[in-house]
């Protein structure tokens, strides 16, 4: 259950949480065409609150909307300022932020015609997405029977609302079987990503992650790539199979919600020692230092409120 904040920014105005309602004929509710972002704000070591990589998230929001032919009636700066002001209005030192672009009510049928493009920014307090214990000790993955989208089936570079039906089906499937998260393969059978996170494996001191051709190009994924290079750890974007992952020395997931979550097991096979490995822990430690403003090298990733 999400704890209510005081206000939600909707179409340019802050309104009380319980009044942020839409009509039952809202087009996106029926047909799934919309885009969104997930952003986190952290309280930094200096006591101030900073939104992590806000401009990059907003840029991807606009890119996603462009791919899906949705004209956002606000500028990127408007959205950035709405995110900052939402935290102030809600007196939140740490929060998850959800910018959402959706098609309002009007015409029905697949073509939304001139229905309004509506915009919201919602903030709520959200802890570790895959659990505090998962961050500390690692999680159990299971390969889903559902396949990740092909690039000509869904627009995989867009963070589209409807794309996540695939993720929901996979997540439900594996959690019902007792696992923490789903691993999805691409249409060629190679590892793609988890239901809501990108994936990395470590073998012989080299980090590998699937190429961004058929997955959402994660912003946290980009952080991992930058951090690894800064730490002098070799990193490659390359295809690998799930049996490659079975015999990896380490594995971990990345995402705004999941942050850096180690993987201790896949398909009932222990990954490495079954505990977070040294490279995973170093990446995780550096990432958390960065989001909390403890690494001046990454201060450009922080937008202070």
User: Which residues are marked as active site?
Assistant: 159
- C-beta neighbour count of 154 within 10 angstroms: 16
Task: Spell out the SS3 assignment of 177-237.
Answer: CCCCEEEEECCCCCEEEECCCEEEEEECCEEEECCCCCCCCCHHHHHHHHHHHHCCCCEEE
- List the one residue out of 67, 14, 5 whose CA is nearest residue 41: 5
> What are φ and ψ of residue 122, in 5° steps?
-115, 140
Structural contact between residues 121 and 95, judged by C-beta atoms closer than 8 angstroms = no
Burial environment of residue 278 by CB neighbours within 10 A (0 to 12, 13 to 18, 19 or more): exposed
- List the one residue out of 101, 94, 100, 105 whose CA is nearest residue 50: 94
d(CA 47, CA 45): 5
């Amino acid at each position: 259950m999400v704890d209510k904040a005081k206000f939600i920014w909707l179409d340019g105005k802050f309104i009380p949480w319980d009044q942020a309602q839409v009509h039952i004929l809202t087009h996106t509710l029926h047909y799934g065409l919309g885009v969104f972002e997930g952003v986190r704000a952290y309280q930094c070591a200096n006591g101030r609150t900073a939104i992590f990589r806000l401009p990059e998230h907003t840029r991807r929001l606009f890119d996603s909307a462009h791919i899906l032919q949705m004209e956002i009636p606000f500028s990127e700066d408007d959205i950035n300022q709405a995110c900052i002001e939402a935290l102030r209005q809600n007196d939140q030192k740490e929060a998850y932020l959800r910018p959402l672009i959706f098609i309002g009510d009007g015409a029905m049928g697949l073509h939304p015609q001139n229905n309004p493009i509506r915009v919201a920014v919602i903030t709520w307090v959200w802890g570790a997405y895959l659990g505090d214990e998962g961050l500390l000790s690692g999680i159990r993955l299971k390969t889903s029977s559902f396949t990740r989208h092909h690039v000509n089936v869904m627009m995989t570079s867009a963070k589209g609302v409807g794309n996540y039906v695939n993720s929901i089906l996979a997540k439900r499937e594996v959690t019902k079987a007792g696992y923490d998260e789903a691993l999805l393969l691409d249409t060629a059978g190679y590892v793609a990503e988890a239901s809501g996170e990108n994936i990395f494996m470590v073998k012989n001191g080299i980090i590998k992650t699937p190429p961004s051709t058929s997955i959402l190009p994660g912003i946290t994924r980009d952080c991992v790539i930058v951090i690894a290079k800064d730490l002098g750890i070799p990193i490659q974007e390359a295809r690998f199979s799930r049996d490659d992952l079975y015999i990896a020395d380490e594995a971990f997931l990345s995402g705004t919600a999941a942050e850096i979550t180690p993987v201790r097991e896949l398909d009932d096979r222990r990954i490495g020692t079954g505990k977070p490995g040294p490279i995973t822990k170093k990446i995780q430690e550096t990432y958390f230092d960065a989001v909390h403003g403890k690494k001046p090298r990454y201060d450009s990733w922080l937008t202070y409120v």
